[in-house]
Structure 1
Amino acid sequence: MAEFIKLYNENPDPRKIAQIVQVLRKGGLVIYPTDTVYGLGCDISNTKALEKIARIKGIKLAKANWSFICADLSNLSDYVKQIDSPTFKLLKRSLPGPYTFILPGNNNLPKEFKKKKTVGIRIPDNNIARALVLALGNPIVSTSIKDDDDILEYTTDPELILEKWDNLVDVVIDGGYGDNVPSTVIDVSDGEYVVVREGKGATNII
């Protein structure tokens, strides 16, 4: 049974954030709000948790293309090779925001992602998501939760999310209704800027 925890984006309760971080540190899975759709995430450094998400998604962990949710650009160099000045400026003016940027990964990537040449970095414009990452002290590996409904691809109601995911995750955060449009994905890994998926973020930033 998942815990259902209400948090407010304007001012997330630090005690509740600390409670959720304890769950993440123990290898728990958390569904949380972002500035786009709700995400399913775990501690980047917990192999068992990463494997759990891979099982739920029905994919091999080595083949997973998940985003790293960061609090800001300060820990970018932990996982990303040095990027040129125009790319950094693009990130700086677009983030926090509804974008996932695909960047060249470096040798510090967790062992589960060592074979990957690139990594998707996401800094949501959502205080709950960023507060979790800050309190955890490292990124959350994240994937968006899909719906079985053909018309509505993403579940937006936290209570319906709880109903569906109750036995699969440890915590569902109620941060209010989510969006049903995902982030815009832009590949900036090799100097060329390529829009991989049009989403909530405007594409005229590149």
Structure 2
Amino acid sequence: MARYVDLHPDNPQPRLISQVVDLLHADGLIAYPTDSCYALGCRLGNKEGIDRIREIRSLGAEHHFTLICRDFAQFGQFVHVSNALFRLVKAATPGGYTFILPATKEVPRRLLHPRKKTVGVRIPDHVVTQALLAELGEPLLSSTLLLPDESEPLTQGWEIKERLDHVVDAVIDSGECGATPTTVIDCSQGEPEILRRGTGDPSLFE
């Protein structure tokens, strides 16, 4: 059974944050809220966790996983950002955007798009997510909690607990969460290309 963790949305309890991070360090898989919608997350080196996310979501080999980063310093360790793109990306973060960018050698090979060697990255504007990232000290490997054959992500912690009780290790609840995934911008070819319109204003990249 998954653990249900009720966190305050503005002042998440440090003791509970530490317990969730301990679970992540022990290769656990969590469902957690972000500034766009709920996501599945695990530690970067958690190979079993990656496989579990693929299984829960029925994902193919070409799915772009996302690295949820705390700040730009962390962001820059895992992807290459050209000077021309840097200002655009910085102006849109933190917020509801995911950027597809060429990965550095810090990113495990199994996370990369098999042909493009790219990965998704983003910096969320969400108190609870930021608290988890600060305690974890590394990015969360993540994927939107959108189940197969469903058009919208799950938004309620209690419902996620009911439906995914035996396939995740913890469900984090900090109140109401949105139902719109991030806006996805492919920056891997130089010129930004909008792949999905979501919470972030796409006009910045048009």
1-side partners of 2:31 and 2:133: how far apart? 13
State the Cα deviation string for residues 56-102 of structure 1 (Å, max 9, x = none): 22335x54311110111111232112x22231111211111000011
Q: CA deviation at 1:138?
A: 0.9
- Partner residue, 1:113: 111
2-side partners of 1:196 and 1:31: how far apart? 24
Aligned pairs for 1:9-28 (under 5 A) are 9-28=9-28
- Partner residue, 2:179: 180
Note the residue ranges of structure 1 that are not aligned, 5 or more in a row: none
Q: Which amino acid aligns with 1:12?
A: P
Matched, 1:200 2:183: no
The number of residue pairs the alignment matches comes to: 203
Q: CA deviation at 1:149?
A: 7.7
In structure 1, the residue corresponding to 2:5 is in which secondary structure? strand
2-side partners of 1:93 and 1:79: how far apart? 19
Q: Which amino acid aligns with 2:99?
A: F
1-side partners of 2:134 and 2:146: how far apart? 26
Q: CA RMSD in A?
A: 1.7
1-side partners of 2:64 and 2:72: how far apart? 20
1-side partners of 2:46 and 2:149: how far apart? 31
2:85 is aligned, of 84, 87, 107, to 87
Q: Which amino acid aligns with 1:185?
A: V
In structure 1, the residue corresponding to 2:106 is in which secondary structure? coil
2-side partners of 1:68 and 1:38: how far apart? 15
**What TM-score comes out, normalization by structure 2 length?**
0.91
Aligned pairs for 1:136-155 (under 5 A) are 136-147=136-147, 153-155=152-154
Q: Which amino acid aligns with 1:85?
A: N
**What TM-score comes out, normalization by structure 1 length?**
0.91
Matched, 1:53 2:58: no
Note the residue ranges of structure 2 that are not aligned, 5 or more in a row: none
- Partner residue, 1:102: 100
Percentage of identical aligned residues: 39
- Partner residue, 2:70: 71
